[in-house]
Amino acid sequence: TRRDDRVPTVSRAQAQSLEDRHGVDYISPLSGFGRHAVDRLVEATFDVQQGPSEEVPKADYEDELRRLIADEHGERAVDEVFPDHNQTYVHGRNR
């Protein structure tokens, strides 16, 4: 469609209400997907590990920073800098 074409839409609140009441995903590709739709797509497509950050492998700087802070300032400092949070790691595609 052209950028200036008018397309019937529902409000965000209406979309969330439909999703909650009927267990469906309201998908508007140009506006983005809702959290549940993304979660289902990921679960169907990828081998994902989720859990506490200190237990899940990471491909970022956090592990190195945790080690450096612990060496320099002790383990308690690590907890102050990195509050408890979950990490997600994608191992690959589902087969």
pTM above 0.85, yes or no: no
Establish if 1 belongs to a structural domain.
no
Establish if 4 belongs to a structural domain.
no
Domain count, the chain: 1
Establish if 2 belongs to a structural domain.
no
DSSP state of 23: S
Per-residue confidence band for 1, with pLDDT thresholds at 50, 70 and 90: very low
**What are the φ/ψ torsions at residue 93 (nearest 5 degrees)?**
-85, 150
Establish if 59 belongs to a structural domain.
yes
pLDDT single digits (tens) 33-74: 788 888 899 999 999 999 998 788 876 788 889 899 999 999
Q: Cα torsion for 82, 88, 89, 93, to the nearest 10°? A: -170
Establish if 5 belongs to a structural domain.
no
Establish if 82 belongs to a structural domain.
yes
Are 90 and 48 in contact by the 8 Å Cβ rule? The answer is yes
Establish if 3 belongs to a structural domain.
no
The whole-chain average pLDDT of the chain stands at: 85
Greatest CA separation for the chain: 60
Domain, as residue range, for 37? 12-93
Establish if 35 belongs to a structural domain.
yes
